[in-house]
């Protein structure tokens, strides 16, 4: 394990959304993340108009309070304020003043699981008018990014029948096009461990093998089984990438370099 990893997606802050319910749970999560090797955690509560309205100022205040508490407890984690921005018609109006992923120009965006490409391309365009680009959260969980949706439909089916590795048809898929347009992608450690089911795990592995991810996150909502999820997810990523590249990915070096 390292000690300089960055969690780009975490619901650690207490009682702001469906993440940690109270301070005790936040501290429990923080201890687990630190023990695993995270040094930096982006606190990204949901920002959904009409749902979880965690405006930037509110998140910054909550991070300040939580950081002081971590320092008092001697838990060596650096917290960074952020949001998981839900992609809907309200998002463009929130872009001025939105919380970026650290000092980058990327904003963490949650794409509705069943959204189609028609929502995604205009999003990139709108972001770019503000000098921003989307960091798409857990693309492996979104049907919109299934490689078989574009170009690979028949080939995808054939590859299943013939037992051919499906890698061959990622080349013209939506994720590749969005990356070319400037999007970046954050994978969930739990996806590799199968925490969201077989299909999500397979997509995560496909994307991982193709170097789609610029960074990883826990997307942790509670401390329950968090350690087990981290260990299991790490083991799968390491089996695919090897130790050195896994650590690079967990440091977020690629995102920092814009790759």
Which is nearer to Fe ion, 82 or 156 (by Cβ)?
Answer: 82
**Phi/psi at 157 (nearest 5 deg)?**
-65, -45
Which is nearer to Fe ion, 8 or 36 (by Cβ)?
Answer: 8
Which is nearer to Fe ion, 43 or 206 (by Cβ)?
Answer: 43
CB of 29 to Fe ion, least distance (A): 13
Tokens 């000098």 -> residue: 131
- Binding flag, residue 140, Fe ion (CB under 5 A): no
Per CB under 5 A, which of residues 13..72 are in contact with Fe ion? none
- Binding flag, residue 7, Fe ion (CB under 5 A): no
- Binding flag, residue 84, Fe ion (CB under 5 A): yes
- Binding flag, residue 219, Fe ion (CB under 5 A): yes
d(C-alpha 26, C-alpha 10), whole Å: 11
Contact yes or no for 130/30 (Cβ under 8 A): no
Which is nearer to Fe ion, 141 or 247 (by Cβ)?
Answer: 141
If DSSP states are collapsed to H, E and C, what string results for 186-237?
EEEHHHHCCCCCHHHHHHHHHHHHCCCCCEEECCECCCCCHHHHHHHHHHHH
Helix (H) or strand (E) holding 256: helix 253-256
CB of 169 to Fe ion, least distance (A): 28
- Binding flag, residue 146, Fe ion (CB under 5 A): no
Total site size for Fe ion, rule CB under 5 A: 2
Which is nearer to Fe ion, 111 or 237 (by Cβ)?
Answer: 111
Report the residue closest to Fe ion, judged by CB. 219
C-alpha 81 chain-centroid distance: 15
Q: Give the max Cα distance, the chain.
A: 58
d(C-alpha 47, C-alpha 103), whole Å: 19
Pick the piece of the chain touching Fe ion (CB under 5 A) from 29-37, 179-187, 201-209, 213-221: 213-221
Interacting residue ranges for Fe ion, rule: CB under 5 A:
84, 219
């Amino acid at each position: 394990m390292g000690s300089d990893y960055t969690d780009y997606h975490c619901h650690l802050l207490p009682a702001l959304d469906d993440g940690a319910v109270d301070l005790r749970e936040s501290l429990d999560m923080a201890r687990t993340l630190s023990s695993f090797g995270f040094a930096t955690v982006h606190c990204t509560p949901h920002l959904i108009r009409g749902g979880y309205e965690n405006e930037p100022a509110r998140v910054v205040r909550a991070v300040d309070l939580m950081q002081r508490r971590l320092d008092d407890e001697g838990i060596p984690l650096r917290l960074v304020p952020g949001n998981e921005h839900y992609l809907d018609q309200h998002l463009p109006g929130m872009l001025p003043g939105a919380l970026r992923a650290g000092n980058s120009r990327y904003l963490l965006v949650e794409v509705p699981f069943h959204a189609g490409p028609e929502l995604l391309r205009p999003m990139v365009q709108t972001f770019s008018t503000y000098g921003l680009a989307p960091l798409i959260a857990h693309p492996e969980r979104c049907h919109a990014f299934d490689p078989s949706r574009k170009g690979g439909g028949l080939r995808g089916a054939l590859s299943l029948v013939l037992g051919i590795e499906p890698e061959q048809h990622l080349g013209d898929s939506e994720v590749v096009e969005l990356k070319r347009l400037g999007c970046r992608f954050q994978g969930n450690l739990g996806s590799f461990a199968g925490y969201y089911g077989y299909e999500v795990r397979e997509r995560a592995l496909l994307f991982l093998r193709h170097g789609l991810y610029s960074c990883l996150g826990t997307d942790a909502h509670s401390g329950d089984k968090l350690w087990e999820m981290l260990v299991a997810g790490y083991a799968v990523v390491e089996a695919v990438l090897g130790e050195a590249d896994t650590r690079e990915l967990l440091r977020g070096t690629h995102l920092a370099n814009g790759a």
